[in-house]
Structure 1
C-alpha cells in the first residue's frame, strides 16, 4: 500500500491533484474505496444538445456554425448562450429540470452509478471550463444528478498541460483518474461520437500495454456507444442566437480583431428555386397516382410538392406576368409517365385553360417520386405520356413561392446571384438530353441568345401546354436539380470558411478540428416555403422571409424579422420574453455527423 502511494505521488497522482481537474468543490472518495470508474459524456449522450437546424441553414453555413475558425468567440460550441437557449431558456427550464431534454436511459444509469458505493462517477465534456462551468452545474443539479467529478476542458491543465483537441484532453484526464485510483479494476465510458468511441478504445489498449510492461494488472475498459438523440432549437430562437454570435463577432473585429477572421458577417437568404407550391393534402392525392403506377418500387422517394417556375429567384418581370408571389392557380392532371422506372411524373394544365403560367421545364409537370440516382430534371426526358381516365382526374390549387434557406456570408459580399453560384450547379452542368437539338429548333421564331424584352423566356398559356414552348426548354428544366449537390464543396460562402463546411455534414464538436460522420410539410400562406423533400420543411411557424433581412440590432437584443403573423413582437425594449421552443419530434439529425 505504501509503495503504491509513493508511486502515485512520484507521478503527481494524488486525490488533491486530481481534484483540481473537477469544477465541483467536493471531496473525492478514498483511493481504496473505488474499484470502478463510470464516465459519462454530456452532449447528446446524457443531454439532448441542440444542433444547428439543417432544414434552416444551408449545408456550408451549418459547417460554419460548427467550426471554431469562423467566429471570434468560436461559434456554436463555444458560446454558452446557444446551450442556454435550449427550450424556453435557463430561467424557465431550470424550474422543470429541462424536462424532455435528457436521454432518460443514460439518466437511469447515472442514478445507478450514484448508488454504487465503490464507483467513481464522472461527467466529462470538452466544453470550456471558463464558459460553461456554471451552466452545466445548474443543468445537472436541476435533475438531481450527483457526480464525484465534473470535468470541463480548461485553457491550461493543473500541471500546465496544453490540449490539442477534446479527445486529447479527455485522455489526459482519464490517465490522471486511473493513475490516482489504482484500486479500480474497470472503467466504463458512455459516448455518442463514433470517432471518440474509437479514440477511447485506443486509449485503453495503449494504457494497458504501458502498465503491463511495468508489471501491473491491466484495467478492464468498456466503451459503450450511445445513439445520438440531438434536437434543435425553436427556429425563431435559433436565428436570434446566431444573430447574437454575428453581432458579437462584428463588434469584436471592429475594436481589435485583425487577421483571418476580420470579415464582418451577416445572415442572408439563399433562394433555391421558385415554384407553384402544392399543399400537403393535395400532395397526398397526387402520390396516390404514384402508388398506382409503381406499387412495389423500392427506395422510392415521394415528392409531389411543386411545379417548377424557375431555378433560383424568379425575375420580377416573370413574377408580374404570373401574378407575383403568393398568387394562387389551379391545375388539372392530364397525363402520367415515367423515365426508365426511376422517375414518375404527372403532366398538368392550368384551370382555366387560358390562364398564363411559366415553367422552365418543357411542359408543366409534377414530379411524383424518384429513385436514388434520378434527378427532378429527368422529367424532361419523358417522351411518352399516358392520359388518365376522366374519372381519375385531379384538380388542385397551388401558391407561387420560393424555396428558401439561410446562409451566413460576408456583410460586404455582392449580390445573391453570385452567392447562389456557390450553392447551385447551373451553367456549367447543363447536360443535353436525347433530341435536345430538336427542342432548340422550336423557339417560336426568336433569335437565339437575344433578349426580346422578357429575359429570353416565354410565357405559357394552354395552347402551349402540350407542345412545351419557352426559350429555356433546352436548358434541362430543373437547373441544378437536387440543389443540395451544389454544396459538396462546403466552402462556407466566404474565404476561410471551408474548414467548417466540408462534406454533406459539417459537425464540429466543441473545438475539435476533425470532421465527423449529417414529410412533406411546412406549406403556409407566405411567399417563402420550406416545403421540398430535397430540403425538408421547417416546423410550422418557422421563419418565412418575404423581404431582405433587416440590419442587425444592437448587441444584446434579439434578432427578429418583422413579418406580420409569423413572429410575435417583443414584449418590451428591455424585458422581452424568449420565444418558446421544445424538443418535440424535431428533424431527423441522426446522420448529421
Structure 2
C-alpha cells in the first residue's frame, strides 16, 4: 500500500494539486521561483508543547493519557483542548502571541526563511487536520509567522492516501513538494525527534537514488536536529483539562460509542508512601550538612525530604498511635553514613527520646541523595554510621503525610490498596519481618544512645521498606511504542528495569497501527513541589465548568473560560524528561 501511495504522490505534480496538502487558503509561488524548501516541525521544535506532568500522574496514567486508544476522543495529543489550555488558555495567549512558549531560535530561522524569496517555507506536523487546523493557524498567526504551506495529517490524503504513521505521511507530503518544485536544489528539515531525524535522512537517500536512476541530479538534503524544549501546564489546569477529557469520554461511553475502548473512567489517587515530611527550609539545612561533612557528594541527586513510615497508605492503627496525618514530630540528627558512596543518609532519633514513632526502615533515617542506580531502600544496607559533630547537630520538625500521585482508572475499579499492589507489586525480601498484625509502634522509655536504640523492623513486604514504588506493568508485556500516539511508556518506570518510552508528540496514528503499552514510573521524591491532596481522593470534577462539546477543535470565544489565571500560566517545570530515551 505504501508503494502505491508513493506512486500516486509522484504523479500529477501541479501547484493546484500540491495546494490540496495545505490547510492555508494561499496561492503557492511559481515553480521556477523556488530553489530551496525549508520544512519545520511544530511540536517541541517550533513550539514548546506541554507534556503530561510526571509529578502529577503515575507512570501508567501518563501512558494512558498519551495513548490514542484509551479515550474515545483520543487523549492528550488528539484532543485540541489540551493544546488550547497552554498557558492561560487560547483567548489570553493569543493576545500576547503565546509569549514564552516558542523556541525563539527556530522562530528566527522561520523569519529568515520568510525573507528568502526563492525558499518555500513549510510547517509540517502529524497532528490531525480535522482537530487542529484552526488552532495551529491561530497560534502561528499570533507570532506573525507566514508559511507558504501548513501541512497537517488528514484522515485521507488528496489522492485517497491512508497513513499508518506520521513518518509515512510526512514522506509522502515531501515527495509531493519535491515533485512539484522539481527545480529546487536543496531541502532543509528541522526536527526534534531523533527517530524522525533518521527517518528523514533515509528518505533523502531513497529519493536521491530514485532521481539518479532517472538520470536527474540529486537534491541536497539537510536534516537539522533540534533540542527538544517541552514544558508542562499549570498543575491545576492540567488536572482540570484531563477531567474534561474524562467527562467527554464518559458521555460518549454512555451513548454506546466505546469503539473498543475502556468503560467509564475517573481520576483517583494513588498513595505511594506515608512519611514524616520535611519542610523545604530543613531540607536545605540537611543538604548543607551533607555538603559540609561529605563534600565529595555534590554530584548526588538531592532528596532529604522524608523519613519513611510505610510504603503506600499507612494502616489506621499505626496512624492512630503516631498521631494521625498532619501530626507534628521533631527529630534530632545523630549520625551520617553511606552505601557504596552512592547513597548517603543521616540517622535521626525522636525528640523527646521517648516519643512514639514508626518506620518500615531498619532505622529512622533521612536519605540525603543517591546516584548510580541505588534506591532509597538501600539505606537499610548502611552498617557503618559516623556520629555528626556536636556543633553541627540540629533538631527539625516533620509533618505526617502521604505522597500522592493521581491515576486514571475504571470508575468501578478496585480500591487504591489493590491498585497499588498492581502498580507496585511485592518484590520480596531476604530478611524476615513480622506480619502486619504483628506490627507495634514503640514507646521509648529512655534514651539508649546511638548504638543501642531498638530500631523497629516492620514488614517490608509492603514494598521492601522503599520510599518509592517499584512500577509493575499493567497488562503484561510492554509494547515498544512507535510514537504513533505522541506518548506511551515503553515498559517500566525510571525505577524499574526498563526505560520510559514516550511515543510521538505529534503522531496520531490509527488503532490498527498503534502500539500502546504503558508501564510504571518511578515515584517522585520532590514532596514539596505539590501540596498533599485532600483526604478521600481528588474532587476536581466538582469544581469544573462543563466541557466544550465533544469534537470542538478549540474553545469558542466566551464559551470556555480560561483557567490558571493566577499568574502561573507561563511555562512551568522547565524542560521535560529526556525524551530521546523514550522513543
Q: TM-score, normalised by structure 2?
A: 0.85
Aligned to 2:564: 579
For 2:404 and 2:397, how far apart are their aligned partners in 1?
Answer: 21
User: Partner of 1:397: helix, strand, or coil?
Assistant: strand
1:589 pairs with 2:572: no
Q: 1:508 aligns with which of 481, 490, 503?
A: 503
CA distance in 2, matches of 1:81, 1:161: 27
Q: Is 1:339–1:379's contact at 8 Å kept on the other side of the alignment?
A: yes
Contact 2:232 2:571 (8 Å CA) reproduced: no
Report SS of the residue matched to 1:160. coil
Other-structure match for 1:380: 380
In structure 2, the residue corresponding to 1:137 is in which secondary structure? Answer: helix
Deviation at 1:576, TM superposition (A): 5.3
**1:339 positional shift:** 2.8
Equivalent residues of 1:61, 1:493 under 8 A apart: no
**What's the counterpart of residue 429 of structure 1?**
428
Cα displacement (A) at 1:476:
7.8
The match for 1:25 is 25
Partner Cα separation in structure 1 for residue 220 and residue 140 of structure 2? 28
Contact 1:310 / 1:360 at 8 angstroms: preserved in 2?
Answer: yes
What does 1:436-585 correspond to in 2, within 5 Å? 449=435, 451=437, 456-461=439-444, 463=446, 467=452, 469=454, 472-473=457-458, 475=460, 479=464, 481=466, 483=468, 485-487=470-472, 489=473, 491=475, 500-503=488-491, 504=493, 505-509=500-504, 510-512=507-509, 513=514, 535-537=524-526, 544-550=533-539, 552=541, 557=546, 577-580=562-565, 581-584=568-571
- Where does the alignment leave 5 or more consecutive residues of structure 2 unmatched? 1-6, 494-499, 549-557
The verdict on how the C-alpha distance between 1:164 and 1:174 changes in structure 2, with shifts beyond 3 A counting, is same
Match in the other structure for 1:522: none
Q: Secondary structure at the match of 2:60?
A: helix
Q: Do 1:491 and 1:502's aligned partners in 2 also have CA atoms closer than 8 Å?
A: no
Larger deviation: 407-416 or 289-298?
Answer: 289-298
Indicate if the aligned counterparts of 2:76 and 2:82 stay in contact, CA closer than 8 A. Answer: yes
Contact 2:279/2:528 (<8 A) preserved: no
Distance 1:421 1:493, change over 3 A: farther
Structure-1 separation of matches of 2:46 and 2:136: 12
**How many pairs align?**
542
Task: Output the CA distance in 2 between the equivalents of 1:80 and 1:294.
Answer: 50
Following the alignment from structure 1 to structure 2, what is the Cα–Cα distance between the partners of residues 24 and 534? 45
Deviations 1:432-461 (A, max 9, x none): 3xxx6xxx6xxxxxxx6583xxx6333343
Aligned to 2:76: 76
Aligned residue in 1 for 2:171: 171
Q: Post-superposition shift, 1:548?
A: 1.6
Contact map agreement 1:55 1:538 (CA 8 A) in 2: no
Q: Residues of 2 paired with 1:490 and 1:45: CA distance?
A: 32
The whole-number CA distance in structure 2 between the counterparts of 1:107 and 1:577 is 26
Q: Is the 8 A contact 1:60 1:493 kept in 2?
A: no
Q: 1:576 to 1:325 in 2, by over 3 A?
A: farther
Q: For residues 490 and 302 of structure 1, what CA distance do their matches in structure 2 show? A: 30
* Secondary structure class of the residue paired with 1:373: coil
Aligned partners of 1:475, 1:164: CA distance in 2, in Å? 47
Deviation at 1:291, TM superposition (A): 2.1
The Cα offsets for residues 336-363 of structure 1, whole Å up to 9 and x where unpaired, read as 2223333222121111222211111222
Q: 1:558 to 1:311 in 2, by over 3 A?
A: farther
TM-fit CA distance, 1:554: 10
Tell me which residue corresponds to 2:496.
none
Does the 8 A contact of 1:492 with 1:501 survive in 2? no
1:19-418 correspondence runs (5 A) = 19-258=19-258, 260-297=260-297, 299-418=299-418
> Using a 3 Å threshold, how does the CA distance of structure 1 residues 26 and 574 change in structure 2: closer, same or farther?
closer
Measure how far apart 1:384 and its partner are: 3.1
Partner of 2:553: none
Distance 1:514 1:146, change over 3 A: farther
- 1:20-58 Cα shifts (integer Å, max 9, x gaps): 011111000110000000000011101111110111111
Distance 1:123 1:536 in 2: 39
Rate the CA distance shift 1:480–1:365 in 2: closer, same or farther, 3 A. Answer: closer
Preserved contact between residue 90 and residue 562 of structure 2 (Cα < 8 Å): no
Residue 538 and residue 19 in structure 1: after superposition, are their counterparts in 2 closer, same or farther (change >3 A)? farther
- The Cα shift of 1:367 comes to 1.5
CA distance in 1, matches of 2:530, 2:424: 27
Deviation at 1:376, TM superposition (A): 1.7
Distance, in Å, in 2 between the alignment partners of 1:172 and 1:391 is 71
After superposition, the C-alpha distances for 1:52-99 in whole angstroms (9 at most, x for unaligned) are 011111111111111111111111111000000001101111000111
Once the two structures are overlaid, the 10-residue window that deviates more, 377-386 or 210-219, is 377-386
Could you say if the C-alpha distance between residues 558 and 274 of structure 1 is closer, same or farther in structure 2, counting changes exceeding 3 Å? farther
**Distance change (3 Å), C-alpha of 1:57 and 1:494:** farther
Kept in 2, the 8 Å contact 1:301–1:371? The answer is yes
C-alpha distance in structure 1 between counterparts of 2:445 and 2:377, whole Å: 22
Residue 423 of structure 1 contacts residue 483 of structure 1 at CA under 8 Å; is this kept in 2?
no
Cα distance per residue 1:295-354 (max 9 Å; x no partner):
224742222111111111011221121111111111111222223333222121111222
The verdict on how the C-alpha distance between 1:226 and 1:283 changes in structure 2, with shifts beyond 3 A counting, is same
Contact 1:409 1:494 in 2 (8 A): no
SS at the partner of 1:172? helix
Tell me the SS of whatever aligns to 2:471.
helix
In 1: Cα distance, 2:84 partner to 2:516 partner: 25
Q: Distance in 2 between matches of 1:138 and 1:323?
A: 55
